[in-house]
Amino acid sequence: MGLTHTSTGAGAADAGLIIDRRSPEDRVIALAGNPNVGKSTVFNALTNLRQHTGNWPGKTVTNAQGRHTHRGRDYILVDLPGTYSLMAHSAEEEVARDFLCFGGADGAVVVCDATCLERNLNLVLQTLEITPRTVVCVNLMDEARSKGIEVDTVELSRLLGVPVVATAAGRNEGLGQLMEAVADMAAAEEAPHTFRPGYPSAVERALARLEPVLARRLEGRLPARWTALRLLDQDPSLLCALEKFLEIDLMEDPEVRVALLEAQAGLKEEGLDQESLRETVVASLVRAGAEIAGETVTFHWEDAARRDRQLDRILTSRATGIPVMLCLLAVVFWITIAGANVPSALLADGLFWVQDRLTDLFAYLQVPEWLHGALVLGVYRVLAWVISVMLPPMAIFFPLFTLLEDFGYLPRVAFVLDHAFQKARACGKQALTMCMDSIILH
């Protein structure tokens, strides 16, 4: 699936959370998921559109909307940017988080990659904390089967407490069942009782202090437990979004403030400051996801799974991760730069041969010198230089990076660099943008 003019041009400007409802009966469904799990493929297959939402820093972030009619009812599907977590560190994560939390959707579909379900369950568990009206779409089942991976969707549904549908969106497999599950979920009078991740006792005590107070203030507009966690986390961007959505500042409420201070004091006595609290919450979610994946995913080819774990240890460890990354990127850069010299020279020769012929033509036609200078020596020459210098490296660099992404190496690079990038108020995913900038500057 490629980029379209709509997805990358002026139409890509974020339209905020404006939903195009044509009837009060329309149902709004948010499509969430990690990057590269086939979420946009699901969206395009159901809406017959060709949208692509941003997954990398530097691309305009937007929510794509489309319609799907099922059982005579229109469903507005909102394709959110890919995100690994709702604890936002970047613009696309904030867009996904804000729509799931405050967008007014009637339900959510979380698309997961069947080949690495454990990693995807982190987002599923966070989504369930916000909205229990969720359907889990386990996509890429065809790839999972080819790798000897089997996902027990029945058991997964039982553990999570929500419908789970297996799909292979690229082949249009399972999409009908997915919409059946979405329709049933949207029509249900009561939301299901879903899996609730447990946190360490200190965190649970803090939540127990805040939840009753918040439940009275929120009046069902947001889950009290989820809101309590966010207040304890003190994420400034989310606190602003909360205030805008609720139209009240919870921090100004005397009862909430007292309960929050008591909860924070309790956490501090247990040695949990703001940063360690977030790490504790994330660790609990990851652990819960691993336990669920352990009960529902079977690797028929143990050697492949063992090989992946060994690769993870080598490519993401502190001792070997960065040296391996530097060596691999050095090879990519060398192939790109050295390999581009020959086609760049050929392109330059061809394009400047055309410039000479244009000069001859302008002379034959007795075109004024200033016009020849502006069009041939100005516009054309600059265009020829840009094409001959930029096109060959890009034609080599992007396929190489696509191969690294397909092998699953780029997410590991983002993981390895995330800690260093966090010190510059950025995230590890921006490593890709940095590499592209390096090639352009060269």
Q: What is the pLDDT of residues 121-177, one digit of tens each?
A: 999 999 999 889 999 999 999 988 888 889 999 999 999 999 999 999 888 899 999
Cα–Cα distance, 430 to 417 (Å, whole number): 9
Give the per-residue pLDDT at 325: 85
List residues bridging with 65 in a β-sheet.
78
Token representation of residue 137: 């779409």
Kindly report the average pLDDT of the chain as a whole number: 83
Give the per-residue pLDDT at 1: 38
Cα–Cα distance, 354 to 345 (Å, whole number): 14
Domain 27-187: CATH superfamily, name plus number: P-loop containing nucleotide triphosphate hydrolases (3.40.50.300)
Cα–Cα distance, 187 to 72 (Å, whole number): 13
Give the per-residue pLDDT at 305: 66
Token representation of residue 211: 């939840």
Q: Confirm if 141 and 167 have CB atoms less than 8 A apart.
A: yes
Cα–Cα distance, 18 to 15 (Å, whole number): 7
Token representation of residue 76: 């507005």
State in Å, rounded, how far the first CA of the chain is from the last one: 29
Cα–Cα distance, 205 to 237 (Å, whole number): 25
7 pLDDT above the threshold of 50? no
Region 350-362: mean pLDDT is: 92
Relative to beta strand 149-151, strand 134-139 is unpaired
11 pLDDT above the threshold of 70? no
List residues bridging with 165 in a β-sheet.
137
Residue whose token pair is 């039982």: 158
Q: What pLDDT, in 10s, does the model give residues 195-220?
A: 988 899 999 999 999 999 998 888 88
Higher pLDDT pick, 420 / 364: 364
Residue whose token pair is 């990690």: 34
Relative to beta strand 64-70, strand 73-79 is antiparallel
Region 236-245: mean pLDDT is: 83
Give the per-residue pLDDT at 394: 85
Residue whose token pair is 């369930």: 128
Q: Please, which residues have CB within 8 angstroms of residue 397's CB and are 6 or more apart in sequence?
A: 332, 336, 436, 439
Region 393-415: mean pLDDT is: 80
Residue whose token pair is 């009637």: 106
Residue 108's pLDDT band, with cuts at 50, 70 and 90, is: very high
Distance, CA of 288 to chain centre = 21
The three state secondary structure string of the chain is: CCCCHHHHCHHHCCCCCCCCCCCCCCEEEEEEECCCCCHHHHHHHHHCCCCCCCCCCCCCCCCEEEEEEECCEEEEEEECCCCCCCCCCCHHHHHHHHHHHHCCCCEEEEEEEHHHHHHHHHHHHHHHHHCCCEEEEEECHHHHHHCCEEECHHHHHHHHCCCEEECEHHHCECHHHHHHHHHHHHHCCCCCCCCCCCCCHHHHHHHHHHHHHHHHHHCCCCCHHHHHHHHHHCCHHHHHHHHHHHCCCHHHCHHHHHHHHHHHHHHHHCCCCHHHHHHHHHHHHHHHHHHHHHHHEEECCHHHHHHHHHHHHHHHCCCCHHHHHHHHHHHHHHHHHHHHHHHHHHHHHHHHHHHHHHHHHHHHCCCCHHHHHHHHHHHHHHHHHHHHHHHHHHHHHHHHHHHHHHCCHHHHHHHHHHHHHHCCCCCCCHHHHHHHHHHHHC
Token representation of residue 347: 């392109």
Cβ neighbours, 10 Å, residue 59: 18
295 pLDDT above the threshold of 70? yes
5 pLDDT above the threshold of 50? no
